[in-house]
Every structure is written in structure tokens, then in C-alpha cells.
Amino acid sequence: MKETLLDILCCPLDKAELELEVIREDDEEILEGRLICTECGEEYPIEDGIPNLLPPDMRDEATA
């Protein structure tokens, strides 16, 4: 995921801005980290460069 993507992403629950926490990056690509909503505090993981913006209940169903 490129950091510039934050300009168009928002929390799917309340449409608030997201803050980026980078765990691992390669050049300009964020490979691992999380996006945190500035309003509700919900966390969305970034794995293999792909942000998972599914709401928490749908995320649990997707991994089952």
C-alpha cells in the first residue's frame, strides 16, 4: 500500500480519517501495519501491502 492512499481512505464505520502505523515497509510501499480510526479507534490491518477495511464482524467471518 502506498502512503498516498490515505488521502482517499476513511473508516468504513463512521467515515472518519485513518492514522497509519507502519510495522514494515519496502521503499515507498507499506507491507505491514495498521490503519487506526481517529474517531472510533477501530484498527484495520495491512498485510502483504493490502489494507483490510472490512468492519470487525465481517473480518471475523472472512477468516473462518
* pLDDT exceeds 70 at position 64: no
The average pLDDT across 34-54 equals 96
| pLDDT digit string, tens, across residues 1-21 | 999 999 999 999 999 999 999
Residue 45: which of 26, 22, 17 has the closest Cα? 22
Would you place residue 40 in the very low, low, confident or very high pLDDT band (cuts 50, 70, 90)? very high
C-alpha–C-alpha distance, residues 2 and 13, integer Å:
22
- pLDDT at position 28 over 90: no
